[in-house]
């Protein structure tokens, strides 16, 4: 269905366009619209391929030590232009030196999907706060937005493939972002949870385990 819709739109427009001669402006409008739909199909196929590859080889992570706070800083810098268009501020807090072996491109994709949602589902002039906290055996990253929130009955489903709370409020997108995020985080041995209240905002908590030997050597007293 998600693939068929943009293809149907493209086909319809092309058929109408070919029925009779058009002005250059009309051709331009039709081709631009078709280009948009092509991009959507391309994005969807990219997401689906990423998911499929991951399912068959979740152990194939290429991990390298990464400082979680600097990685979040890097992600936020990438997302700032998008947020600025809606005058949304992204804040970052937390401690440096929480270093975990991560497949950086994949885990960055996971966090980008969460922050992309935070921007998408937060009205203009809102705020997004990201915090990195170190607990005994894990790095916990919280992402809180001041957005529209998610109804209680939808919360258990938002990590499902193709699940969208309300088609009208998520006109772009396919409901794949969070399922990709969850798959990537779980492949790293981590977990993701969500709390939300409609009208005031949403918090995602991502917990990534710190390898045992590293936790020992840093500050954990083993008795």
**185-204: b (≥16 Cβ within 10 Å) or e:** bebbebebebebeeeebbbb
Binding mask 77-116 for ligand ATP (x = CB under 6 A): ------------------------------------x---
Closest listed residue to residue 144, CA positions, set 124, 132, 128, 133 = 128
158 near ligand ATP, judged by CB under 6 A: yes
Count residues contacting ligand ATP (CB under 6 A)? 23
Piece of the chain touching ligand ATP by CB under 6 A; list 4-12, 55-63, 83-91, 143-151? 143-151
Binding mask 195-214 for ligand ATP (x = CB under 6 A): -------x------------
173 near ligand ATP, judged by CB under 6 A: yes
Task: Give residue for tokens 């977990």.
Answer: 191
Mark out the alpha helices in the chain (DSSP H runs): 4-19, 24-56, 68-84, 104-120, 177-187, 212-218
Among 177, 182, 196, 207, which residue sits at the site for Mg ion (rule: CB under 5 A)? 177
Residues making contact with Mg ion (CB under 5 A):
117, 177
């Amino acid at each position: 269905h998600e693939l068929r819709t943009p293809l149907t739109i493209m086909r319809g427009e092309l058929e109408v366009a070919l029925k009779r001669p058009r002005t250059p402006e009309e051709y331009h409008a039709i081709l631009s619209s078709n280009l948009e739909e092509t991009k959507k199909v391309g994005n969807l196929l990219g997401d689906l391929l990423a998911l499929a590859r991951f399912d068959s080889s979740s152990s194939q992570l290429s991990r390298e030590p990464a400082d979680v706070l600097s990685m979040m800083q890097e992600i936020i810098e990438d997302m700032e232009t998008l947020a600025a268009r809606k005058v949304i501020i992204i804040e970052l807090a937390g401690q440096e030196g929480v270093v975990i072996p991560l497949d950086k491109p994949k885990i960055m994709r996971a966090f980008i999907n969460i922050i992309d949602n935070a921007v998408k589902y937060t009205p203009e002039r809102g705020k997004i706060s990201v915090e990195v906290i170190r607990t005994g055996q894990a790095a916990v990253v919280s992402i809180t937005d001041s957005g529209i929130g998610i109804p209680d009955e939808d919360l258990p489903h938002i990590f499902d493939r193709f699940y969208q709370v309300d088609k009208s409020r998520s006109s772009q997108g396919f409901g794949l972002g969070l399922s990709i995020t969850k798959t990537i985080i779980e492949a790293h041995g981590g977990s993701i949870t969500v709390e939300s209240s409609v009208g005031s905002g949403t918090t995602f908590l991502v917990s990534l385990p710190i390898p045992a030997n590293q936790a020992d050597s840093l500050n954990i007293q083993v008795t």
